[in-house]
Amino acid sequence: MKGLAELGEFGLIDHIRARFPQPVAPELGIGDDAALLSPSAGRQVVVSTDLLAEGVHFDPGFGPARLLGRKSLAVNLSDLASMGAIPRWFFLSLAIPAGFSLETIEGFLDGLAEQAAEHNCILAGGDTCGSKGGLTISVTIMGEQRPELILKRSGAQPGDDVWVSGSLGDSALGLKLLMEGVRLGGAHDPLLLRQLDPTPRCELGLKLAEAGLVNAMIDISDGLLADLGHICEQSVCGAEILLGQLPLSPALYTCSSKQPVFPWPLVISGGEDYELCFTAPRCNREAIQKISKTAGIPLTVVGKVTNSRQVQAILPDGTNFQPSASGYTHF
């Protein structure tokens, strides 16, 4: 197999193009200066972009490159899920350090192609360049949805239930374990994989949007408190979260039982859960639980929207919990 330097930039682009299905005519993907893409009739285009920088968002030593490829697209798919959009196309840009292994790039592309195929999402273009630092990955994703079905952060109403999908805190605890030297292949794999290979809730987000039951929605990337705070800011309201009602996995309980203090900060502020948080009128509870059963994903009421302008977290004993930070921030 050729090395990356021998393959060259345009050879790498051709190599990437060969790994992914291309748009069907009259659309145009990789090969020209720009792509030509057409949304379905009556639908708006929904666009999101995420940047993953080595040493900030990921450590190549934590797991196989295939999982990094999967995660690179998953975090963008999660953004579309939170708006009830259907994934269509994505763009990949890579800044690659000198001497980087082509074998690692191959593994990364394997995972990226797996995730794209699972969600019927087509690679339509991108860019490559060298990096004087670590590996940098930028993915821009485009989806579509009928305008009246697109879910935003700005529709929450006082009295709404606050719901979350799946379980919280696994990814943050998994990252803590990875940073302590734990690696895949042991009892902590369920926690590590929530960090290394998150599952975007695309089908669930689409079902919730189509059902018309939800007032506001966001994906949990920076932590429940921070991301629910974004809904409250955009909706000009507040919220109260009951920590005793948060859905927690058996793996988190087992690992946390050995700690002197329960890791509530990881659960509500750790981030990278990539679950959905949404608000809905209380009268929609039964209908939402039916969607939960159909999608096979647990949905849990964890609090309510209030008239205040604050997000409060209430411990099981009824006292307020004040974490040192509401969620992850870069600056």
User: Which residue positions form the known binding site for Mg(2+)?
Assistant: 33, 48-50, 79, 127, 219, 222
Collapsing DSSP states into helix, strand and coil, what is residue 249?
coil
Cβ atoms 216, 279 nearer than 8 A = yes
- Reported for 249-255, long-range contacts at CB under 8 A and 24+ positions apart, including other chains, are 249/167, 249/169, 249/170, 249/190, 251/170, 251/188, 251/190, 251/191, 252/167, 252/169, 252/170, 252/173, 252/191, 255/173, 255/177, 255/188, 255/191
d(CA 5, CA 121): 29
d(CA 2, CA 24): 30
Q: Among positive and negative, which fits the CA dihedral 310, 230, 221, 251? A: positive
Cβ atoms 135, 94 nearer than 8 A = yes
Binding site, by residue number, is 33, 48-50, 57, 79, 126-127, 153, 219, 221-222, 272, 328
Binding site for substrate, by residue number, is 57, 272, 328
What's the chain's Rg over C-alpha atoms? 21
Asked, as a colleague might, if the bond just before 281 is cis with ω within 30 of 0, I would say no
d(CA 103, CA 121): 24
Structure tokens at 191: 């926690």
Other beta carbons less than 10 A from residue 301's beta carbon: 16
Query: Which of 147, 121, 129 shows the shortest CA–CA distance to 37?
Result: 121
Binding site for ATP, by residue number, is 126-127, 153, 221
Structure tokens at 277: 């948080």
Give the DSSP H or E segment for 292. helix 285-295
d(CA 294, CA 289): 9
Query: Which of 246, 279, 278 shows the shortest CA–CA distance to 265?
Result: 246
